[in-house]
Structure 1
Amino acid sequence: MASSKVTAVFSLFAFAVIHSLTASLPFKRLVMRVAGPKAETLYLPAYSLIAGLTILPLVYQLYKNPGRILYKVPSPWRWLMVGGQLIAGTLSLMAFRDAPHRFKIRSQLSGPQASEADSLRIKGVYRWVRDPFLLSGVIMIWLTPFMTVNLLIVYILTTIYFYMGSLHWEKRLVVQFGDEYREYRKRVNRIIPGLRRRVKESDQSLANIT
């Protein structure tokens, strides 16, 4: 039904608006003014909770009106796909672990020259890929072992949203870390992993020059 597609798209749009608003720097400035230093530790859990709650209407709509089934992947291939989704989810957790300083509100609001600024400190999954969240998100949705019409529409729009969000996030990282991030961006791809050797070689070349 066309109405189920419209409802699913509207639910996704509402989630994207709320998600983008709560991730924006003006909203974070407001939170800092209201909550003070506590915002640094409370913001990320609260942000994740809001994201989880606001995605529930979309999940419900897809569950209630999934649309015509396009395919179902049989065993054992479906379990391989689920395993890939679990690996992708682990990648997201590793990305938080390897770069917690990227999510500090004070650093995001201050820029690379301020006293609150951190160095980029490339390690872990960031040696392989610039945006592991984009990579893991794309893998998790497209490795779903079944597909319906409504799900396909939502996944296509979600992939576009992920990519546009990655572009915006990277602009913010340039503001946050300055030339250090610009140089890193030249050496590592946004989403295609496997360039760790190039990062190491480049780092070694810089060390030899200095």
Structure 2
Amino acid sequence: MKRSLILLYGVACYAVFFATFLYAIGFIGNLWVPKAMDSVRSTSVGAAVLIDLGLLALFALQHSVMARPAFKRAWTKIIPESAERSTYTLLSSLALILLFWAWRPIGGVVWSVENETARMALYALYAVGWALLLYTTFLLNHFDLFGLRQVWLQFRGRPYTHLPFKTPTLYRWVRHPLYVGWLTIFWATPTMTVTHLLFALMTTAYILIAIQLEERDLVAALPEYDEYRKRVPMLVPGTKRREGGSVGVAARRSAG
């Protein structure tokens, strides 16, 4: 019975994630959803900035703190280890849902591309960012990344095995193609409002900090990462590496 409940819990967590993922496409791109990033402003500029920064900070703290090995060791004393990743996925999704619900547009336009061909090109780039993001999750092992593999293995009564170190396709060009996808999503817009700029700047800063935290953990866990980091740039293909240390594996741990 316990195995079945954990499996159902993992599937439910994944369903919440997938619905949140679909809503995020519309929210960031101002497409189709009832409340998007650049909906009509309903509060003062100062209040909107403070609320939005608080929502982004809450997501960043949840996403990073729960991904640290020390937190995971403590957390799995409370919940089944097989449900840890599903719980992380669920709480990350809930943090995003809160952000969607409580987000306060600021208003104002930083730039607006008027040429229709250029606008369509930017929307296409936005779509490419989402496609790259989703594709990268499958390179990492999509089902392990979002907890389904863990709950399925426990349902079958089989022990969990960590994914091996590997560098498939995109991981031979950059260490963090998943973050390249996110950065493309955040910045590829034909109309950059003040609201969107605040979101893009803060999320970009978070990504750059999160990479350092993830790579520190990977150095400790994976000896092969050191040589990999020396060979492969972080985000931009073909750039010379000037960082020290070690990093980058196409496995769940590199995605938080």
TM over 0.5: yes
With over 3 angstroms needed to count, the CA separation of the structure-2 counterparts of 1:98 and 1:65, relative to structure 1, is closer
Structure having the higher helix fraction is 1
Structural mapping, 1:72-151, within 5 Å: 72-74=112-114, 75-100=116-141, 119-151=164-196
Quote the offset at 1:99 in angstroms.
2.8
1:173 lines up with 2:253 in the alignment: no
Quote the offset at 1:156 in angstroms.
1.0
1:65 lines up with 2:105 in the alignment: yes
| Matching residue of 1:184 | 228
Find the residue that maps to 2:111 and give its secondary structure.
Answer: strand
Cα RMSD (Å): 2.7
Q: Deviations over 1:99-122 (max 9, x none)?
A: 3399699xxxxxxxxxx6654221
Q: Deviations over 1:152-194 (max 9, x none)?
A: 122212111110001111111112211x111111111000125
Aligned length: 180
Contact 2:86 2:146 in 1 (8 A): no
Find the residue that maps to 1:71 and give its secondary structure.
Answer: strand
Quote the offset at 1:18 in angstroms.
1.6
Greater CA deviation, 72-81 or 157-166?
72-81
Contact 1:67 1:148 in 2 (8 A): yes
Q: Match of 1:55, as an amino acid?
A: L
Structural mapping, 1:33-72, within 5 Å: 33-39=77-83, 43-62=84-103, 64-72=104-112
Find the residue that maps to 2:66 and give its secondary structure.
Answer: helix
Rounded Cα–Cα distance in structure 2 between residues aligned with 1:66 and 1:49: 28
Q: Match of 1:18, as an amino acid?
A: Q
Rounded Cα–Cα distance in structure 2 between residues aligned with 1:135 and 1:33: 34
| Matching residue of 2:202 | 157
Q: Among the aligned pairs, what percent are the same residue? A: 27
Rounded Cα–Cα distance in structure 1 between residues aligned with 2:228 and 2:136: 16
Contact 1:82 1:144 in 2 (8 A): yes
With over 3 angstroms needed to count, the CA separation of the structure-2 counterparts of 1:37 and 1:58, relative to structure 1, is closer
Normalising by structure 2, report the TM-score. 0.61
Structure 2: runs of 5+ lacking an equivalent:
1-44, 148-160, 240-256
Rounded Cα–Cα distance in structure 2 between residues aligned with 1:99 and 1:154: 26
Find the residue that maps to 1:120 and give its secondary structure.
Answer: coil
Rounded Cα–Cα distance in structure 1 between residues aligned with 2:132 and 2:196: 23
With over 3 angstroms needed to count, the CA separation of the structure-2 counterparts of 1:59 and 1:145, relative to structure 1, is farther
Structural mapping, 1:3-14, within 5 Å: 3-14=47-58
Quote the offset at 1:129 in angstroms.
0.7
With over 3 angstroms needed to count, the CA separation of the structure-2 counterparts of 1:13 and 1:98, relative to structure 1, is same
| Matching residue of 2:59 | 15
Normalising by structure 1, report the TM-score. 0.73
Find the residue that maps to 2:78 and give its secondary structure.
Answer: helix
Q: Deviations over 1:54-110 (max 9, x none)?
A: 123433454x423212233232222222221222222222322223399699xxxxx
Find the residue that maps to 1:192 and give its secondary structure.
Answer: coil
Q: Match of 2:105, as an amino acid?
A: N
Structure 1: runs of 5+ lacking an equivalent:
106-115, 196-210
Rounded Cα–Cα distance in structure 1 between residues aligned with 2:170 and 2:193: 32
Contact 1:131 1:191 in 2 (8 A): yes
